Amino acid sequence: METTQSGVDAAPPGDDGSASQRTRVGVVRETNPGERRVALVPKIVAGLVKQGVQVVVEAGAGQGALIPDAAFTDVGAVIGDPWSAQVVVKVAPPSDAEVAKLSAGQTVIGFLAPRNADNKIPALKAAGVQAFAVEAIPRISRAQVMDALSSQANVSGYKAVLVAASESTRFFPMLTTAAGTVKPATVLVLGVGVAGLQALATAKRLGGRTTGYDVRPEVADQVRSVGAQWLDLGIDAAGEGGYARELTEEEKAQQQQALEDAIKGFDVVITTALVPGRPAPRLVTAAAVEGMRPGSVIVDLAGETGGNCELTEPGETVVVHDVTIASPLNLPASMPEHASELYAKNIAALLELMLVGGVLAPDFTDQVLADSCVTREPDAEPSTDAVAAGTDSAPVNGDGTDSSASDVPDTESSANSSDSGGSGSAAAGTGSTAGNGTGMGSSAEPSESIAGSPDSGASDVSGSVGKEQG
């Protein structure tokens, strides 16, 4: 197949249709600092081409994920200008310069940070662009394969444990040697959603003694399913329909003190609580850090919105009171190969809903498309089972993902969020399939949805250990 810089190619073998009648999907090269993911990978591109879709890839789009341009052209894509395509797919929210490249009638799909005050949705709407935010995909069974918050939160939860192990001055597993026995590291994960469950499962695989905590006691079984213990602080925040209720002031104070005391006994603490559009809830106080053993580690996945630890410096690794506090940003981008593969599957599944015979024809009577299109005026109020990134209650999983839609890989008994795409969000995480576990979100929200309506105050942890990133 001939490759051109214009992005126009001959019809694939066996396709007697006109190339001009086929939908063109553009894959852009991400420009956000540190973003190494790509929205589509060659395997997914091959499937789209077979469906009669033209795929135009920007030169170097897969470079960060170590995918050469030739890998795309080998499966039928062309290298050219993706911004002129009918559908533009990307990972991170578009910048002002990128929005300016779009024109009326185009469609853009990606992480659009609909809950952030500085998002580009108004600009996209003003430009006449039809925009679909993956964070706003409803948490319903048939949409699990499109859940980008959960797939990316999976990556965040996994990588958070590796960061902790790297920064720790102690072994994770118990070791019995001629020189003596080394006790296993104790690991506490705050926020049992997609990223949180993946973190528990990964820490367990490394030999750590794991414990999980969430304000919703009904997720205790999910914690135990990955071989971890449940931290019971004596607070029950279970509300109606699997959501967390807001705690009373007395309960908040009781929870805060009990959590502070518990944290001091762990070697590693991983926090995943995010509230889209608001500062992250403070779960780890300065007093708790001061009380931890020297050499202990805290990995804060909520750095992009201020952090769950009072002493966190977003994007930095600092040592305070001889405790290492790491707050890496956009962890999914640090594992671009698999993060891109998972995200590409999410995007392809969403595209499948929009395409009819290779032609773009979104049906807005479909709940998934209606809820995720953030530039369209809704015809009616969204259904109650569609939890877009904006719900103020914590869903069954801590990161907002549906407990039936998680995909933490199997561990002992069973077991992806982001913003800029995975900082969302847990969840993280997104790309959920079945199982007990991982997902970004948002993230977690449905992995990128939210935690049980916490205040934005620094000392409020009520209902906050519920939403993860991705």
Which residues participate in catalysis according to the annotation? 139, 144, 147, 150, 243
Buried b (16+ CB within 10 A) or exposed e, 188-227: bbbbbbbbbbbbbbbbbbbebbbbbbbbbeebbebbbbbb
DSSP character string of 319-372: EETTEEEE--S-GGGGSHHHHHHHHHHHHHHHHHHHEETTEE---TTSHHHHHH
Are 305 and 275 in contact by the 8 Å Cβ rule? The answer is yes
Name residue, tokens 């409020």.
Answer: 460
Q: Is 151 helix (H, G, I), strand (E, B) or coil?
A: helix
DSSP of 273-336? ---TTSPPP--B-HHHHHHSPTT-EEEETTGGGT-SBTT--TT-EEEETTEEEE--S-GGGGSH
Angle, CA 140 vertex, CA 138 and CA 143 arms, to 5°: 75
Report how far apart, in Å, the C-alpha atoms of 414 and of each of 329, 401, 408 are.
28, 17, 8
What one-character-per-residue DSSP string does 210-255 give?
EEEE-S-GGGHHHHHHTTPEE---S---B-GGGPBPPPPHHHHHHH
Q: Which residues have a Cβ under 8 Å from the Cβ of 322 and sit 6 or more positions away?
A: 294, 295
